[in-house]
Amino acid sequence: MIKDLTAIVGDAYVLTGSDTEKWSHDWIRKYHYSPLAVVRPATTQEVSDIVKWANRTGTPLVPISGNTGLAGGGRADGAVMLSLDRMNTIREVRDASRIAIVEAGVVLADVHAAAEQQDMIFPLTFGAKGSAMIGGVLSTNAGGSNVLRYGNTRDLVLGIEAVLPNGEIMNIMSELHKDNSGYNLKHLLIGAEGTLGIITAAVLKLHPKPKAYATAMVAAPSLPAALDLLNRLQEATGGAVEAFEYMPRHHIEAYMQIKPGAREPFDAPYDVNIMVEVGVTAPRDATPGPDGQIPVTGYLEDVLAQMFEEGTVLDAVVAQSQAQRQDMWERREAAAEIAMSRLPIVSNDIALPLDKVATFLEIMETRLPQVDPAAQPVIVAHLGDGNIHYTVWPGSQDEDVHDAIMEATEEEVLKLGGSFSAEHGIGTSKLPSMRRRKNPVALQTMKAIKAALDPNNILNPGKLLP
């Protein structure tokens, strides 16, 4: 095996034994495994040759990018792990057509930096942006904080290049916004978690960089009142709300514990804390007036003042500098660090209709203690798109109790028309959820697609499909 792989990529890029330690566990260290080897190709052709070799030898392949996944999608016992970290070239950034052509191993933050040099943005963002890579981002259809305005990863990709399970290279690196020529194979592979093909490059959609932001922490009396704020801000700004993030009181308290010296968002504690950000590109909204105020900040303050008079906003702090804005973002992006500050955790990444989020949380206040009386929820949410990270610190060490917590959560989610997976994917951790909850006909269809494209079950076996 080593001789064959070395012939493809070179001796320095086939790792075994202790050299694979970096790739032997997931980011949250819930899963530990021992890959047969880690192979690091530098070109799409090398990926193709590796996949063809795997088919000839019957060797499972597990593709890996930045290894920041949260669902166990990179587990690689008895498999060769295929790392795309050397395929890290930003091939082109074109401002006229607002696209970036990048390889799968490019780190998300590097895409951000390249776009910013052209006064544009690639709007996908989340806490792991400094290590997550484009291949993994596409393979899990990542979400993040700006989905409200710009959509999920699927909405930000025009074309892809991928190596199929038989080793053939599929080049659909389209730069077109409209292409109605048959099945949308791009969307089939995006979100497939490496089970149907290995994405090696992509054409990404860029957007104009906002000329000004207005960012605030807002205390609301309830989640329905917070949604009213969102809708009114969307009307006042022409749909320019980029982030609308919910942090309950326990998130604020936990943040204060892990970040010595951090400040409370308000002078008084509140149960419903919202971070809202509005971004504008039009000069009329971003150019300071005679009084020095930026118009978009005025829009935000006017809505907040009106709602404060009505009692539907309890308190608000509007960022007056980039440093204050960054403090607000750091409070939100510490969510993963907060959740991981105590182990074990039961991680539920769920989605609900916006007007059902409050209902779900109220139901779980009663349901969770019935399953585990000592359990503590650790909640943060992309409230603007209905995505709740309903993490639980269980009071019991019993894995059966942990499974019961997850099952109870997803049961209540599905009753309300939601999904048990919003943006983290299925991997291995949510296989029981897929088995219990996914529509049987949908599962059969997925398995038929997998069998047709990957009859030897080479690519990331044991993931996504129960």
Residue 445 phi, psi dihedral angles, 5° rounding: -65, -45
Q: What are the beta bridge partners of residue 172?
A: 160
90-208 CATH, one of 3.90.1150.10, 3.20.20.70, 3.30.465.10, 3.30.9.10: 3.30.465.10
pLDDT band at 447 (very low <50, low <70, confident <90, very high): very high
d(CA 351, CA 63): 27
pLDDT band at 85 (very low <50, low <70, confident <90, very high): very high
Comma-separated ranges of CATH 3.30.70.2190 domains in the chain = 212-335
Query: pLDDT at position 27, please?
Result: 80
For the domain covering 212-335, report its CATH number. 3.30.70.2190
pLDDT band at 69 (very low <50, low <70, confident <90, very high): confident
Query: pLDDT at position 426, please?
Result: 95
Comma-separated ranges of CATH 3.30.465.10 domains in the chain = 90-208
Q: Which two structure tokens, joined as six digits, stand for 379?
A: 């909640």
Q: One-letter amino acid identity for 260?
A: P
Whether the CB-CB separation of 216 and 225 falls below 8 Å is answered with no
For the domain covering 2-83, report its CATH number. 3.30.43.10
Query: pLDDT at position 273, please?
Result: 98
pLDDT band at 230 (very low <50, low <70, confident <90, very high): very high
Strand order in 157-163's β-sheet? 90-94, 99-103, 198-205, 157-163, 169-172
Comma-separated ranges of CATH 3.30.70.2740 domains in the chain = 342-424
Q: Is the pLDDT of residue 47 over 80?
A: yes
Assign domain 342-424 to its CATH architecture. Answer: 2-Layer Sandwich (3.30)
d(CA 64, CA 81): 7
Query: pLDDT at position 329, please?
Result: 95
Beta-sheet pairing, 90-94 with 99-103:
antiparallel
Whether the CB-CB separation of 317 and 217 falls below 8 Å is answered with yes
pLDDT band at 31 (very low <50, low <70, confident <90, very high): confident
At which residue do the structure tokens 């590097």 appear? 110
> In angstroms, how far is CA 385 from the centroid of its own chain?
13
Longest dimension (CA), the chain: 73
* Predicted confidence (pLDDT) per residue in 168-212, tens digit: 999 999 999 999 999 999 999 999 999 999 999 999 999 999 999
Residue 162: helix, strand or coil by DSSP? strand
* Predicted confidence (pLDDT) per residue in 251-291, tens digit: 999 999 999 889 999 999 999 999 999 999 999 999 999 98
Side-chain-side CA neighbours of 435 within 13 Å: the count stands at: 10
DSSP state of 267: S
Question: CA quadruple 244, 104, 425, 417: dihedral positive or negative?
Answer: positive
Average confidence score pLDDT of the chain: 95
pLDDT band at 98 (very low <50, low <70, confident <90, very high): very high
Category of 66 on φ-ψ map: left (φ > 0), alpha (ψ -120 to 50) or beta: alpha
pLDDT band at 134 (very low <50, low <70, confident <90, very high): very high
d(CA 418, CA 353): 7
Query: pLDDT at position 41, please?
Result: 98
Q: pTM of the entire structure? A: 0.93
Query: pLDDT at position 204, please?
Result: 98
Q: Is the pLDDT of residue 311 over 90?
A: yes
Residue 7: helix, strand or coil by DSSP? helix
Q: Is the pLDDT of residue 459 over 90?
A: yes
